[in-house]
Chains A and B, each alone.
Chain A
Amino acid sequence: MSEIFVLTKRWPKKDPSLAGYRADGGYRSLEKALSMKPEEIVEQVKISNLRGRGGAGFPTGVKWTFLPKDVRPRYLCVNADESEPGTCKDRYVIEFDPHSLVEGIAITCYALDIHLAYIYIRGEFAKQARVLDQALAEARAAGLIGPKIAGRDFALEVHVARGAGAYICGEESALMESLEGKKGYPRFKPPFPAIVGLWGKPTIINNVETLANLPWIVEHGGAAFAALGAPKSGGTRLFCVSGNVKRPGIYEKPVHYNLKKLIVEDCGGPPSGLPVKAVIPGGSSSPVLRGDEIDVSMEFDALKAAGTMAGSGGVIVMDESVCMVRALSRIAMFYAEESCGQCTPCRQGTPWMEQILERLEHGEGTRADVELLEQLPGNIMGQTICALGDAAAMPVQSFVKKFKKEFLDHVEHRGCPLGDKAWGVYRETREALIGGIRQ
């Protein structure tokens, strides 16, 4: 079977304009959607088995049905906060094909009777925010969004809202707090956003990549999308491969593509020629896999069965030259920096884990420290309002479990056995392959 590209088919053309998008048949799916009943679109999305691409992998169509029937207004928040280390896909959807997102938003809003949508984009993506503003201006001028979308009696306004530097705002309730003009403190759930969301109203929050699939689903039907993937998990997804590989980049593959095949065949394996030591399969929160555990499907349920998560599709590859203590200490530093400070176990536990790991890496650690690292994450997991606590705990738990000898070696050697170059061997310039485009 030849490869089917849902999300990246237009990327190599590098023409993000409305004219270019329309020349390739763009916005025909919106026309088709507007001729359908809203509930028919929701049904097709359910049939498609589309699951959220932001990290949780929740079925999109099911999430949509959580909206209470008689409460208005409803809002759509598009999550473009893309901050999970190892994840760099939504930015390219926006850079190379912003109208696929805008069309997906318009279809979604029509299907759910939503008339106001915000694209919450991380503050660091200044260029991507400009691209979106430009695309929205084009769509507005062409009457594709505005008081009467595509000439129909349906009003839709879409705005870009930029964040200002906070990982936590990718968490959906913190995102809404931020959008309301506050610091990003996650809210208690339940109530879930579909019931009580932005400004207390029913709100659907979907990831950029999730919504960019909508035009294809409407054009080809939910069943065709479902057929691209595995049972209960349809379509393709964007895998971001980084770290020690010859060809890092963004690869659109069926959701159940094999992780080892992606790393070894598509990305060429480590440039050093050394074996793969460890792989983080779905962004830095996902439990690490040893090199001998990567012959697995990357589908959500398959990776769950393998003891980890498909998460956001951020695959980070480390070869034998990389020190696991050093890598984990950097990951721990990230969560300590990004903990919002609302819950004590996370606020206090994340810097504690970071300090223990720094001690170990610099030869000041003890066996008791390693034992502490085995126990401590369990006292954070499930004890916090949002999933950041779990996200910080899971890497620590998995790294120590799978590479325990390396942690104990740091105690015995009173330092890193791999020496000062603990980040391993790397080559300074490598070609990235972004959706078929050489960078």
Chain B
Amino acid sequence: MPSLKIAKSGKNIPTITDNRDYIFNSDFDYLKESSSGLVDTDNNGDLTITHNLGYVPAFTVFVADYADQTKWYSYDYIGNIYATSSSLIIIGAMGAIKSKIHYTIFSEQL
């Protein structure tokens, strides 16, 4: 089966032995963004995002205080976060206050 390969500048595809030297290689699978967005929690830092993929997907989430959206934190500032086969559920963001959430839900199944 033919492959689509794009090498980094200065690299020659037929001689590449280190996969990091590819920009793209169709022999590999990729984390594909199924959906993403910038959304608000409620006043308790809670939010449910419906994806309806029918399976539990991989995801990333970042969070900011709704009153100061210049600083964005990784998920440790979220009280609890998990995915189900239909939703991404965030509980108690930023210590259970109204927060801004950036989420990415991937096509890949956990």
Decide whether A and B are members of one complex: no
Residues of B within 8 A of A (CB): none
Residues of A within 8 A of B (CB): none
